[in-house]
A and B are shown apart, each in its own frame.
Chain A
């Protein structure tokens, strides 16, 4: 038996992740300095870790209800209302998921199939496209542009919509560009979508990491509330990546549908993580503020650093990524990042890992200590100087 023939073409045809190839190179180089890992460098706040430990001491080691502990869903509901002015009923409008990623998966599986189109703005998180393909639906890519600060514009959106469009993914604040959707930009997107039979999957996992302004949730528009599935979680805001906990909220009918997928595939999210998350939502605001202020300082240092070395860099106002343009060096993203790694031992992810429109850019993450950032910037500057003097 030829084992590989047993694999379904749908999976076989999905190319390996662009970041994977790059990380294999990074792992070979032990003393490389990195700006490539997309998760907080902070450890989960102690009060949150302590709550998780306490729950274990008390013996809370069993399954939780399928959609998550009601106490957690109540806290999530309060949090979304207090932060983003969206109200969801904890009883039937929230499912606690294994990270935001599960939310993406169960939403797409509940909504689309062969013949349907899913609009995905790129550059963006690497999972949207494969998760769409898993369902048999067709991804329709919108190439976001630096001249729009990588925001989604109504023109680009209208052009992508066809009678087959069933879902639009709204990935803001954005990984990898750091782009956000301020209210005036969101207003225009709402105008396009409010009278259409299209569901928005709004992935707001980076919502807490919004600088110089506050995050706008598309579900806070009354005309969009029922047509939006809001995904969020604890990984980025509370530095809880390893706990694997997120949530998805929306219309009760959609939640009922997704609940079926969730209960048969996942059953329930990790119990310890849920106890910790309750504490995070109740008492974590101050700790989040400290982290956000620190990220904001590093953000400014990094943008300043890239601009000083002569690389164009639009002002990223969200997440923890800077997306400088390297076109002026004459190299492609992959060439630039591979040579930067070889010659200066700095790992930065090529923009193409997040879609073709990432060509000419790279993703530098500032979830690193300031010393690490300064050293990486210094080395990158040496490299850019050498390139430009040739």
Chain B
């Protein structure tokens, strides 16, 4: 029933009734499947993708490359947890390659983000270094292109 996940991933506002018709199952079955996915943490949430640039809210996003010393018995998990617990941290990934953690931070101003890195992130025990990159423009996020929606411009044609 992964088709239900695919449908919800694209549009989580769609009702169980509509999904049931789309996949050819009963509404009860669809509700039960969704509940199961939620209980098992397969479905973690129902977020809304917002282009904050078009609002009056000031928002800055930064991607921070973090090098850390893994801890005996804990690997990277413990230090990662100390980082991702901060609400400013929107995403945190363990990476292969030249650094260890990608930390994505959102704040109202560049100063706010810079201060967070300087005061909270960099001084953490086991954090060896940080390198902060500010996002200047979002073209695409979560599979969605940040431009005006395409209009249906198909012409009436005989066929």
Chain B residues with CB under 8 Å of A126's CB are 158-159
0/1 string, A345-371, CB within 8 A of B gives 1? 000000000000000000000001110
Chain B residues with CB under 8 Å of A20's CB are 158
Q: B154: which of A41, A125, A127 is its contact (CB, 8 Å)? A: A41
Say if the beta carbon of B141 comes within 8 Å of chain A.
no
Q: Roughly how many angstroms separate A368 CA and B151 CA in the complex, as a whole number?
A: 12
> Given A43-B150, A297-B7, does the pair A19, B22 have CB atoms closer than 8 Å?
no
Chain B residues with CB under 8 Å of A37's CB are 154-157
Chain B residues with CB under 8 Å of A39's CB are 154, 157, 159
0/1 string, A10-26, CB within 8 A of B gives 1? 00000001011001001
Chosen A-B contacts, 17 in total, with CB atoms closer than 8 Å, are A17-B158, A23-B156, A37-B154, A39-B154, A39-B157, A126-B158, A126-B159, A127-B159, A175-B159, A293-B6, A297-B7, A297-B23, A298-B22, A368-B152, A369-B152, A370-B18, A374-B18
0/1 string, B15-41, CB within 8 A of A gives 1? 000100111100000000000000000
Q: Roughly how many angstroms separate A39 CA and B155 CA in the complex, as a whole number?
A: 10
Chain B contact residues: helix, strand, loop or mixed: loop
Q: Are A301 and B157 in contact (CB under 8 A)?
A: no
Interface set, chain A 288-306, CB cutoff 8 A to B: 293, 297-298, 300-301, 304
Q: Output the least CB separation between B79 and chain A (Å).
A: 38
Q: Are B156 and A27 in contact (CB under 8 A)?
A: yes
Q: Roughly how many angstroms separate A26 CA and B156 CA in the complex, as a whole number?
A: 9
Say if the beta carbon of A36 comes within 8 Å of chain B.
yes
Q: Output the least CB separation between B135 and chain A (Å).
A: 23
Say if the beta carbon of A154 comes within 8 Å of chain B.
no
- Count of interface residues, chain A, beta-carbon cutoff 8 Å: 27
B interface residue numbers (CB < 8 A to A): 3, 6-7, 14, 18, 21-24, 150, 152, 154-159
10 tightest Cβ-Cβ pairs between the two chains A and B: A297-B22, A23-B156, A17-B158, A304-B21, A38-B159, A37-B154, A19-B158, A301-B21, A300-B21, A300-B22
Q: Are B159 and A300 in contact (CB under 8 A)?
A: no
Q: Roughly how many angstroms separate A126 CA and B159 CA in the complex, as a whole number?
A: 6
Q: Roughly how many angstroms separate A300 CA and B156 CA in the complex, as a whole number?
A: 25
Closest B residue to A41 by beta carbon equals B152
Q: Roughly how many angstroms separate A254 CA and B34 CA in the complex, as a whole number?
A: 56
Chain A residues with CB under 8 Å of B156's CB are 23, 26-27, 36-37
Q: Roughly how many angstroms separate A369 CA and B3 CA in the complex, as a whole number?
A: 18
Closest A residue to B11 by beta carbon equals A370
Q: Are B159 and A125 in contact (CB under 8 A)?
A: yes
Chain A residues with CB under 8 Å of B18's CB are 301, 370, 374
Closest B residue to A19 by beta carbon equals B158
Chain A residues with CB under 8 Å of B3's CB are 293
Q: Roughly how many angstroms separate A204 CA and B50 CA in the complex, as a whole number?
A: 43
Chain B residues with CB under 8 Å of A298's CB are 22
